[in-house]
Structure 1
Amino acid sequence: MVATIPLTVALPLVAVPPSLADNTADLDRLKATLAAALPSELAGRPLRVPFACITTVAAAFRAAGFHGWAVVHCLPGQLELIDFLPEEPKLLPGLALDLGSTHLEASLIDLLTGKVLARNTALNQQVEYGADILTRIHCAAKEEGLRQLQQAAVDSINGLIAQFCQEAAVLPEEIRTLTAAGNTTMAHLLLGLSPYYLCREPYIPLVNAPDPFLATEIGLRLHPQAMTWLLPSRGSYFGGDLISGILAVGLDQAEQPAMLIDVGTNAEVVLGGKDWLIACAGAAGPALEGGVARMGMRAAPSAIEQVSIDRVSWRLTWRSIADAPPLGICGSGLIDLAAELYLARIIDLRGKFQAEFVGQSEAQRQFVQERLVQCGNETTFLLVEGVSVSQTDLDAMMRSKAAMYAILETLCAQVGIAFSELEQIHVAGAFGEHINPRQAITLGMLPDLPLTVFNPVGNTSLAGAEQLLLDHTLWERAQDICRKITYLELNVNQEFMIRFSGSRFIPHTDPSLFPSVPVFR
């Protein structure tokens, strides 16, 4: 077994067989033997057998000759005995899920060893009812809308389960536990709860911390007694995916102040350590994840993720994800391009295209003439045939980069911490995996700190759900994180608006904040 105790465990036990001198009932015998054999971390907890399991568990216990392996759920404050096996199981699968609004990502993990048996992604079928969260909230208010959205999420998860079972050669009913993390709206829709009030002042969810429930209760095809553990939310705009991220990077246990940044539809940021946490969310995501730029797309195959301009030979190079033929540009590529255009002086400190400027060489002039082209009434920069970035795209990116820096600055100012005091800045998601921090600093999106401070951590929503599968104590820790977080509302924060205005230049209105970035006048 793994060092920690998972949410579902298989425990060996040998019971004294019944006799005329000992007429203890089968289930009572099993429970007493199991209680005596529990590891110290679980000892003393109440132990129950769900009514639906009484017949099968008792029969399996007797058929196995009163010895074998008890399969137990480690629920908050109690244990549930759900199965009895005559031999040690070869696998005890559990499923961890990142419940994303556009894509689902999941891992099938053996709870006995911690080994990942399979990992895959799937489209969230809810996109049929709306590409964005707000559209889905409105859709849920229509007749049958909420039921359709819930069914779409369930069907998407069941599709992933079927893929995993084929890949790992397991049956759906062998999967004993599911952990899931998603934003607050996605959690409501999965549970079939109305998200109506999430977007209406004062923005109150129906539930932040749902108790574990049977996966079959919402139609998921797993073991009949498989429990679903949905990581808690902090509020309408701070969901279980961020709580999961905090668990994944250990932010709540950090000795020195650190930061977690997750950019999706919004930029969600948490600052703090073991003694305190403060968080906020703001609209810095859409232009960076493909939601605003005309040629923008998510970080997926065929998205240009890296751009470089050789300022000696005046040649442009690019790289797409998976080296696939380019169809668009993702957030990291857009940041790369904007930073390179600034350093090449093809855009000014406002992010505006400039075809000519003082000191321009003939080679540079020719490069600009070839790349800056008119598309209708708008100037665009041609990256490669079929992919270009317009001034409108750059303007949207400039707003996003300004919002990002203003969010980070406001959050730090709220607790009186300088950027230089941060031991680590964890950058999550596809944004974190593909972004070049040096380029983001050049634009004034991230603070001007040593590159070693920035730590790309991938999908922390899934990583936290995986950790929870393998360590049942993280459930209570997640609840503690929710109680510990102070949430800062940016919509009514005047300091944020002032900082946002000051950040809408490259790198900033106050260039002294970015000593490593050249300033062109």
Structure 2
Amino acid sequence: MNSIVCSVFVAATVPSLQDNTADLDRLQQELVTILGDNRSITISYECMTSVAREFRAAGFTGYALLNNLESSWVVVGFSAEKPDIIVGMALDLGTTHLEATLLNLQNGDILSEGNLENTQISFGADILSRIHHATAMRRQQKTPAADFQDPGLDELKRVIISAINELAELLTARAGMKTADIRALSVSGNTTMAHLLLGLDPFHLCREPYIPLFNRVPVLSGNQLQLAIHPIAPVWIMPSVGSYFGGDLISGILASGMAQSKKTRMLIDVGTNAEVVLGNSEWLIACAGAAGPALEGGVARMGMRAGPGAIEYVSIHPEKYELKYRTIGDVAPVGICGSGLIDLVAALYLTRMIDIRGKFRDPALEQDAARAAFMKEHLVRRDGDLCFVVTGINTTTDCDEVVLEQIDLDAMIRSKAAMYAILTTLINQVGLEFSELEEIAVAGAFGRHINPQHAITLGMLPDLPLSVYRAIGNSSLRGAEKVLLDERARRDCEKIVSSVTYLELNVNQEFMIRFSGARFIPHTDPSLFPSVPIF
């Protein structure tokens, strides 16, 4: 009975001349006794007739289907037999991709899973572009009417609702079901994506002092959002802390378990930004910074998100100078994702082909014969600058190559420096050392594919035993699954929101100083990375 939709056994007395209680009143009276809490018990108006007929057809004994809401129980169905499956859909409403799972709310089993591109991307790859599209006419009005709705905002809402419906159809088809079988939906996304989904004005999100229209929204229903799921399915939107701290991070905190931990942990989630949370069951502190683009395909010419054809693993033998790589899906390489980029740059450093500044060494000055031969094969000059050819050395066209250019390498060094500066600034705020952390959870595709040892080599992550690091996958989606299945997780969301302190890095002088110090491999202070060789 913890899930957001659950079934409850009811055995009511049969009506008689001596007991002429109305059918639905009879059902409610039984549920009051069974449920035994102070929440109201109502029967959804949309299904009063169907519930009454199902209750009577079952002989007044069977299983009531209930929406388990914070302040009430809502009866939405009745059956003579206990349902084997109650379907819920958990959704990670990402800026570039939507990822979802269908769950059996009876036992937590995954029925199907899938993902689609967020079709809002046609209006802008980044959040700011979409806010501008959603507020184009709003910006022309100094004081808009209370009922004014920007057509651009309506357009973005229609597009994302259509994408969610398409994903729901994909998942239910895989599970042999229909979209109307989905009895609940949870949505985890950043603050802007939540505004665009609900069609609520995001105008002030990108204007100082950056105040959202809402942080919390009441539980909605499928028909209110014109979703293809069951019309009275509850739709739970993860709460936000502010424009900078969305429901996706609340989900990550839930998924990592740090809000229930007595010992202090850290969560790192790298996407467009690097978002970091530090804390335990008593307190939480968080910040975000631009450490993600070089790792997510936003800077490097050959960079891409973790997907088919992305080089996710690279190694260079330190003595034989043999290069090996692996692509996601074991298909022909078309680019390199964050984990492959970290592997490659770490390998180039350990084999002394780049220096501590992240600059390519000149092959003509190399004394080691084997290294010189490898460098002459892979390091070529383009427009006067050295670049490293990962694949396609003997191809006739540049489009068949995967190449790391110096500009890409510079962006990588900035990103890794920003990451370490974020981590050190945050932990310094609470007077802790990295060695005092119980765990560092690394979320997303970045966490799933990254080799922590190589990130340590670059000075991106602190030099700690590898056992401290734990990859937790898509924490936004995992958190969305938790709130569907567990009433305590839904309550924990409020506790997390009230516990978080946000650290603004844009005006933090300490961060800028630490960023400058981290722009070397592994760092200007090599004692911070005792396991990394210094050349």
Answer yes or no: same fold by TM over 0.5: yes
Distance of 2:120 and 2:87 partners within structure 1:
27
Distance 1:237-1:360 versus aligned 2 partners, 3 A rule: farther
Match of 2:102 in 1: 108
Q: Deviations over 1:457-511 (max 9, x none)?
A: 1001111111111112211110110100000000111100110010111100111
Match of 2:79 in 1: 85
Match of 2:163 in 1: 156
Distance of 2:187 and 2:384 partners within structure 1:
47
* Secondary structure of the corresponding residue to residue 495 of structure 1: helix
Distance of 1:195 and 1:355 partners within structure 2:
50
* Secondary structure of the corresponding residue to residue 424 of structure 2: helix
Q: Is the 8 A contact 2:285 2:502 kept in 1?
A: yes
Offset at 1:376?
A: 2.6
Offset at 1:230?
A: 0.7
Distance 1:476-1:357 versus aligned 2 partners, 3 A rule: farther
Offset at 1:17?
A: 1.1
Asked whether 1:409 is paired with 2:424, we answer: yes
**Matching residue within 240, 249, 259 for 1:242:** 249
Q: Percent identity?
A: 56
Match of 2:450 in 1: 435
Distance 1:214-1:78 versus aligned 2 partners, 3 A rule: same
Amino acid at match of 2:9: P
Amino acid at match of 1:23: N
Matches within 5 A, 1:161-180: 161-180=168-187
Q: Deviations over 1:373-401 (max 9, x none)?
A: 12234321000011001000011111100
* Secondary structure of the corresponding residue to residue 491 of structure 1: coil
Asked whether 1:383 is paired with 2:385, we answer: no
Asked whether 1:339 is paired with 2:336, we answer: no
Offset at 1:93?
A: 0.5
Offset at 1:142?
A: 2.5
Asked whether 1:514 is paired with 2:521, we answer: no
* Secondary structure of the corresponding residue to residue 319 of structure 2: coil
* Secondary structure of the corresponding residue to residue 133 of structure 2: helix
Match of 1:280 in 2: 287
Q: Is the 8 A contact 1:253 1:274 kept in 2?
A: yes
**Matching residue within 122, 126, 148 for 1:128:** 122
Return 128-137 or 355-364, whichever deviates more. 355-364
Q: Deviations over 1:264-287 (max 9, x none)?
A: 010000001011100001000010
Q: Is the 8 A contact 2:315 2:323 kept in 1?
A: yes
Return 358-367 or 486-495, whichever deviates more. 358-367
Offset at 1:334?
A: 0.7
Amino acid at match of 1:135: S
**Matching residue within 284, 290, 297 for 2:304:** 297
Offset at 1:89?
A: 1.6
Unaligned runs of 5+ in 2: 138-150, 393-400
Asked whether 1:34 is paired with 2:16, we answer: no
Amino acid at match of 2:25: D
Offset at 1:518?
A: 1.0
Amino acid at match of 2:216: A
Asked whether 1:505 is paired with 2:520, we answer: yes
Return 164-173 or 346-355, whichever deviates more. 164-173
Q: Is the 8 A contact 2:380 2:389 kept in 1?
A: yes
Return 62-71 or 475-484, whichever deviates more. 62-71
**Matching residue within 461, 470, 474 for 1:455:** 470
Distance of 1:377 and 1:95 partners within structure 2:
53
Q: Is the 8 A contact 2:366 2:372 kept in 1?
A: no
Distance of 2:63 and 2:471 partners within structure 1:
41
Q: Is the 8 A contact 2:364 2:372 kept in 1?
A: no
Match of 2:489 in 1: 474
Return 431-440 or 473-482, whichever deviates more. 473-482
Return 429-438 or 66-75, whichever deviates more. 66-75
Q: Is the 8 A contact 2:455 2:461 kept in 1?
A: yes
Asked whether 1:312 is paired with 2:319, we answer: yes
Amino acid at match of 1:50: S
Q: With structure 2 as the length reference, what TM-score do the two structures score?
A: 0.94
Return 207-216 or 164-173, whichever deviates more. 164-173
Q: Deviations over 1:33-77 (max 9, x none)?
A: 112222x6xx33211112222222222222222122111011112
Q: Is the 8 A contact 1:279 1:485 kept in 2?
A: yes
Amino acid at match of 1:45: R
* Secondary structure of the corresponding residue to residue 176 of structure 1: strand
RMSD: 1.3
Asked whether 1:25 is paired with 2:25, we answer: no
Matches within 5 A, 1:43-58: 43-58=37-52
Distance 1:174-1:445 versus aligned 2 partners, 3 A rule: same
**Matching residue within 6, 12, 15 for 1:15:** 12
* Secondary structure of the corresponding residue to residue 506 of structure 1: coil
**Matching residue within 87, 98, 102 for 2:92:** 98
Q: Deviations over 1:323-342 (max 9, x none)?
A: 11000000111111111111
Aligned residues: 514
* Secondary structure of the corresponding residue to residue 211 of structure 2: coil
Offset at 1:216?
A: 1.6
Distance of 1:89 and 1:116 partners within structure 2:
16
Q: Is the 8 A contact 1:295 1:328 kept in 2?
A: yes
Asked whether 1:369 is paired with 2:373, we answer: no
Amino acid at match of 2:420: Y
Offset at 1:357?
A: 8.7
Offset at 1:22?
A: 1.1
Q: Is the 8 A contact 1:158 1:221 kept in 2?
A: yes
Distance of 2:357 and 2:85 partners within structure 1:
58
Offset at 1:90?
A: 2.6
Runs of 4+ in structure 1 off by over 4 angstroms are 356-359
Distance of 1:128 and 1:377 partners within structure 2:
36
Q: Is the 8 A contact 1:295 1:329 kept in 2?
A: yes
Match of 1:190 in 2: 197
Match of 1:138 in 2: 132
Distance of 1:243 and 1:198 partners within structure 2:
18
